[in-house]
Chain A
Amino acid sequence: MAIIGFEEKEFFASGHRACAGCGEALALRHIMKAAGEKTIVAMATGCMEVVSTPYPETAWKVPWVHCAFENAAAVASGVRAALNMKGDKETNVIAIGGDGASFDIGFGALSGAIERGTKFLYIATDNEAYMNTGIQRSGATFPYAATTTSPAGKIIPGKQQPKKPLPFIVASHGVKYVASASVANLPDLKAKVQKALKVNGPTFLHVYVPCIPGWKIDSSTTIEIARKAVETNVFPLYEIEDGVLKFTQKPAEKKQVESYLIMQGRFKHLTPELVKKIQGYVDARFAFLEGIEGKKCFDVLY
């Protein structure tokens, strides 16, 4: 069933092997509806690549290419260069990687493709761990979340570091359009994809996608949890256009982070002290965003 305002055609078809309730699959489906059929997708290795293309099947109704884990941005660079040489100025090129592929192993390739001014949209779908390999900690894992390599130990209670601020690192490259988006707000996601694709240069989207087994949540709660992430300022929705940050959805009334944490098995080890620490972490990050809201904070080079 298509959502009002979205293209009825499917470009990421049903029948793929993602988990019921997968946030990432839902995001891809609607990203593709927003991008349309004149799009080539270069995807990093990860859950979505594995579930969507078990040879000889494919869920992709647009031309799609996968090479390896850390190189979606480099493959997209080759695709764009080839299109340029063919005189094709119309086709969208979208590179997609999970948080492991984008924040960690493919970080260099992403930075290089941006620095070269490649006309493409890079989408980092973030479910805050290496889910395809079985829920290991990444640079995007939320503080104190339990993963298989940052377990809720007796001495060390989950991941000890903050999330790498990838959107700001990308914005610092001088990118004209950077935005965060969530499966909890599909019209906002659609608008951002379409805005990004209009830019004649590199653009970046950071999309929050709950993971059923990774977050130890019920498959019916994907949207509810994603929405709660926005409402608690855990994952604020903003765009940085021409170097200026603007919120695209600001919670009317800020909810406590605990209401988000309590829904997920990966946080069930948290003590009241840790919850308080996380609240402080979230508040500080949000205060930073509010502090730069409306001001020109990044130089624009592309």
Chain B
Amino acid sequence: MAEKEKAEKVVISGADAIACAVKLCRPKVLPMYPITPSTLVPERLSEFVFNGEMKAEMIHVESEHSAASALYGAYATGVRGFTATASQGLALMHEILPIISASRFPAVMAVANRTLSGPLNIWNDHSDAVSERDQGWIQLYCESAQEAFDTTIMAYKIAETERVSLPVMVCIDGFALSHVYEPVQIEGQSKVDAFLPPYKPHNFLDTSDPKTFGAVAFPNSFFEFHEAEEMAMQEALKVIPKVNEEFGKAFGRKYGDGLVELVEMKNAEYALIGMGTLVGTSRVVVEEMRKQGEKVGLIKLKCLRPFPKDEILQACKKLKGLAVIDRHASLGYEGALTIDLKAALKDEKVKVEGFVAGLGGRDIDVKRLRAAVETIMKGEKGYWLK
């Protein structure tokens, strides 16, 4: 099997970037089910496996529910796995997601974010992953194909750090990133091996040391399982920046502190905050407005769960207004991100306004984002950025 030792720069899609990173991470079991726009990931991985470039067993499952279930079975048997999905597929996995996290299996899954039906729509927003934010999975959002590649490798390292032992979702915007071609530095195998050592589980299904996985927990123990998960989530807030630093040292790239990235925030009076590819567009807005003398900054939220409250607080202390761009609507209230930020900043003077944007693939362009900033500068209320 030919392994590429040298790094190379190639022009590939965000989904391809994830597949290339997964190959370098050497998962052994790949339960896969196709769904737009994540399908490029299993397609690429199938080519790697069927051409002998990757030593793993594909399981061509009959549903995403079974993809998550087979992933659970693989981790219970003590091997590293991977799957990818989107939208309805992630919704179908919903039942299994908290079982994987409560079992403390450090699984990694890519989500090419797509809205949820109905009506049927295959385009991007964050409704699928954001709706799963309470299921004990770490959620990392990416802005570029390179970041998708790098985040996938970091995801395994974060998940498999013993004091974390939680699954990670690597989220890329459907089409807007999954199908967009960008230059990506693909690292060599030995360098990735040095960064990510082989997976060594403590507990797995083993006939020479039989153990029971997935017991029934009664009210006298169930609570403690979740308490332990919450403690692990809090540990992840420390581990993610550490892994981000290590990644930076090994490969020369890092993403803010791993949780958030601050752009022009030092003397900012107003700021935008959002996740995924809209951050790229927001950078243009900030640059433009800075040129015109406005003290505008940007917070890129890379990690939605665990929520980096302290980092957000620190970044927003001196702000007058914060425009939250939610690519998701919690119908009946506000966007999920807005709700989180209002809670985090409740004792600060900053005025937080939510803007629901980009639903079902609607453009989030410079004009719309600029309008959001101008709205908070005027002290007006947030609205749906249609």
Tell me whether A81 and B57 are in contact (CB under 8 A): yes
The reply to whether the CB of B313 lies closer than 8 angstroms to some CB of chain A is no
In the bound complex, residues from chain B placing their C-beta under 8 Å from that of A54 are 215-216, 218
Q: A116 to chain B: which residues have CB within 8 Å?
A: 59-60
Of residues 57 through 97 on chain B, the ones whose CB sits less than 8 Å from some CB of chain A are 57, 59-63, 65-67, 69-79, 81, 95-96
The segment from B112-120, B188-196, B203-211 that touches chain A is B203-211
Residues of A within 8 A of B76 (CB): 65, 75, 78-79
Q: Which residues of B contact A108 (CB under 8 A)?
A: 62-63, 66
A74 and B65: CB pair below 8 A?
Answer: yes
| Closest residue of A by beta carbon distance from B212 | A58
| CA of A91 to CA of B65, assembled, Å | 25
Which B residue sits closest to A76, measured CB to CB? Answer: B73
Task: Determine if B28 is an interface residue (Cβ-Cβ < 8 Å).
Answer: yes
Does A157 sit within 8 A of B, measured CB to CB?
no
- Number of A-B residue pairs with CB-CB distance less than 8 Å in the complex they form: 154
Residues 41-80 of A at the B interface (beta carbon under 8 Å): 42, 49-50, 53-58, 60-68, 70-71, 73-79
Chain B residues near A63 (CB-CB < 8 A): 205-207, 209-213
| A136 interface hit (Cβ, 8 Å) | no
Between A60, A65, A109, the greatest number of chain B beta carbons within 10 A of the residue's beta carbon is seen for: A65
User: Which of A38, A53, A71, A77 sits near B59, CB closer than 8 Å?
Assistant: A77
Contact check, B72 vs A78: say whether CB atoms are below 8 A apart.
yes
Q: Is the CB of B331 closer than 8 A to any CB of chain A?
A: no
Given contacts A61-B210, A78-B29, contact A71 B205 (CB under 8 A): no
B-contacting residues, A105-139, CB 8 Å: 108-109, 111-112, 115-116
Q: Check B29–A38 contact: CB distance below 8 A.
A: no
Contact A115 B62 (CB under 8 A): yes
Bound form: Cα–Cα A83–B59 in Å: 13
A56 to B218, CA, bound (A): 10
Distance (Å) between the CB of B61 and the closest chain A CB? 6
Q: Are B221 and A56 in contact (CB under 8 A)?
A: yes
Interface size on A, residues (CB 8 A): 44
Could you say which of A66, A74, A78 contacts B77, with CB atoms under 8 Å apart? A78
Q: Quick check: B63 and A82 within 8 Å, CB to CB?
A: no
Q: A20 to B16, alpha carbons, bound, how many Å? A: 57
**Residue from the list A42, A58, A82, A109 in contact with B66, Cβ < 8 A:** A109
Partner of A65, one of B59, B71, B205: B205
Closest B residue, CB atoms, query A91: B207
Asked, given contacts A68-B95, A77-B61, whether A55 binds B221 with beta carbons under 8 Å apart, the answer is: yes
Query: Is there contact, CB below 8 Å, between B63 and A53?
Result: no
Q: Which of B67, B99, B205 gathers most chain A CB within 10 Å?
A: B205
**What's the nearest-Cβ distance from chain A to residue B158, in Å?**
22
| Inter-chain contact B79/A82, CB cutoff 8 Å | yes
Contacts of A112 in B (CB 8 A): 61-63, 66
Contacts of A254 in B (CB 8 A): none
Expressed in whole angstroms, the Cα–Cα distance for A93 and B72 within the complex equals 15
Q: Is the CB of B74 within 8 A of A55?
A: no
With most chain A CB atoms within 10 A of its CB, the pick from B28, B60, B73 is B73
B214 touching A74, Cβ below 8 Å: no
A74 adjacent to B70 (CB under 8 Å)? yes
Give min CB distance, A50 to chain B, whole Å.
5
Selected from B57, B69, B77, the residue in CB contact (under 8 A) with A109 is B69
A140 to B168, CA, bound (A): 39
Inter-subunit contact B218/A55 (CB<8 Å): yes
Given contacts A40-B77, A57-B215, A85-B55, 15 further A-B contacts (CB under 8 A): A37-B210, A49-B214, A55-B218, A63-B205, A63-B207, A65-B213, A67-B72, A67-B99, A74-B66, A79-B76, A81-B31, A81-B59, A82-B73, A82-B74, A112-B61
A-B contact pairs, 8 of them (CB 8 A): A64-B212, A65-B213, A67-B72, A77-B59, A78-B75, A83-B77, A85-B55, A108-B63
Instruction: Give the B-binding residues of A (Cβ under 8 A).
Output: 37-40, 42, 49-50, 53-58, 60-68, 70-71, 73-79, 81-86, 91, 108-109, 111-112, 115-116
Closest 3 CB pairs of A and B: A78-B73, A112-B62, A82-B77
